[in-house]
Structure 1
Amino acid sequence: MDSPEPTPSSRVRRRWPLWVLAFLALVTLTRGLLVETFSVPSGSMQPTLSAGDRIVVWKPAADEVRRGDVIVFDGTGTFGPRRGASEPGGLAAVVRSVGDAFGFRSGQSDYVKRVIGVGGDRVRMDERGRVFVNGLALSEPYADTRAAGPAFDIQVPPGRLWVMGDHRGDSDDSRGHLGDPGGGTVRVDDVVGTVVGRYWPLNELGGVSSAAPREDPGADR
């Protein structure tokens, strides 16, 4: 007796595992070469980004970082603990890798900040939280400058970046590491990429544009 001809719905049910595997393979390949997804761990970038937001990072832009870019970088050895012998293996590593691909990144050394100064820039902040780059006071509509912390004045070394969170009163950034190696600056080589979009929550779905710091014509020097 001949077997019944498979219906379209039964063919779909049999093929969906292959589609899922193909999708996962595509995500993994694309993630490794062009994009990477992250979960924002804190409110240090508010109001631009909030804790729990899922963001997309464009990796080819890592070599062309500009002032105003929102970036993800590896703070290992600069801001955070060094990854090493405690890394999970076996099944735990596989689970973490899949989670990373969908934005549930578990690493403790990845940071999301805004680039304020690049190599050669002089960056300073006065006691009122106003930021100056190369003598020009900045207008920063993206930032919450309340409780910005103590004043500072630094020259950014070549090949490094000065980064700050948009929530100046609640951000572990370059200001808090002035006494560390590099004077709080981050190596350009440690940049993972530029944040280009947010895909969660859905009501905030869209791009995350860079906002180049602009001179504030009303500020005194």
Structure 2
Amino acid sequence: MAKHRGNPADNAPRRRGRKRRPFWQELPILIVIAAVVAALLVNFVGRPYVIPSESMEPTLHGCADCVGDRIYVQKLSYYWGDPKPGDVVVFVGPPSWNDTFRSTRSRNTAVRGVQNFFSFFGLVPPDENDLVKRVVAVGGQVVQCCDEQGRVTVDGEPLYEPYVHTDYLWVSGQQNETYPRGRIFGPVHVPQGHVFVMGDNRRNSRDSRAHVGDPLQGTVPVDNIRGKAVFKIWPPGRIGPVRSENPQP
């Protein structure tokens, strides 16, 4: 007796469509994923910083009566190499540079914990003395000021610094002690693994020159560098790249 096979489609397993979760159930998962991605980007790729002072004008604005530039600082460049002359870098000031630093964290333990938590994700600035300056000399080089024309020299060669628009007037042959502190300095032998930094606004920048009497002679350990400034992201009228300009011949 022949067996009735029936319609093959009747014997096929029924496919049951997956029931989509309500959005309110997916939202916490999306938030966690976004937070993890943000934390990875902030801690390993780069993060924004605010320019707090006039020390890098006109390259970067941070004057008291203007909107301070927001810059993006990337970390990737220094995973495979050290800072180079002309790089604009953000770094943590060595201990002797922290005399004017005041923590922005709350004294309340709970609030401070929340601030530190959000800082990990880039939503609150880090609680450290972050500064931005330009590298003028690196480990193994000798930097000083000044030659007969008032220029900074590295290994005896004068620097070409078109980014400097404000510096103290130099009169050849004038006595050194009549110049403001920091106009004349050195020679400083930059140790390996360190850099010598200066602001583009030489008349208003407390940089390596102000710390040549410190144990590190004003140099900054490369390990203190948070990254390289590459782009101005705010305000809209100043959006654009932050250029490295090697001043050394």
User: In the aligned structure 1, how far is the partner of 2:106 from the partner of 2:94?
Assistant: 14
- Residue 174 (structure 2) aligns with: none
Normalization by structure 2: what TM-score? 0.70
Compute the TM-score of the two structures, normalised by the length of structure 1: 0.78
In structure 1, what is the equivalent of residue 183 of structure 2?
150
Alpha-carbon offset, residue 83 of structure 1: 9.0
Matched ranges for 1:8-157 at <5 A? 22-51=33-62, 52-62=68-78, 63-81=81-99, 89-95=109-115, 98=118, 105=125, 107-126=127-146, 129-147=150-168, 149-153=182-186, 154-157=188-191
How much has 1:101 moved relative to structure 2?
A: 5.3
SS in 2 for 1:203: helix
Shift of residue 126, structure 1, vs aligned partner: 1.5
- Say which is worse superposed, 45-54 or 140-149, in terms of deviation: 140-149
CA displacement, residues 21-79 of structure 1 (integer Å, 9 cap, x when unaligned): 65444322210111122111101001110112111111122342101100011114141
Letter in 2 for 1:109: N
Aligned to 2:16: none
Q: 4+ residue runs of structure 1 moved beyond 3 angstroms? A: 11-25, 81-84, 86-89, 95-104
**Amino acid of the residue matched to residue 201 of structure 1?**
P
Cα distance, 1:80–1:103 mapped onto 2, change above 3 Å: farther
Comparing 125-134 with 15-24, greater Cα deviation is found at 15-24
| Identical aligned residues as a percent | 36
Aligned to 2:13: none
Q: 1:191 to 1:106 in 2, by over 3 A?
A: closer
**Which amino acid letter does the alignment assign opposite residue 140 of structure 2?**
G
Match among 227, 243, 249 for residue 193 of structure 1: 227
1:212 aligns with 2:228: no
The answer (yes or no) to whether the contact 1:37–1:100 under 8 Å persists in 2 is no
Distance (Å, rounded) in 1 between the aligned partners of 2:133 and 2:197: 6
- Give the residue type in structure 2 aligned to 1:105: P
Amino acid at match of 1:135: G
Aligned pair count reads: 204
Q: Deviation per CA, 1:61-103, whole angstroms, max 9, x where unpaired?
A: 234210110001111414115899x886433332355368557
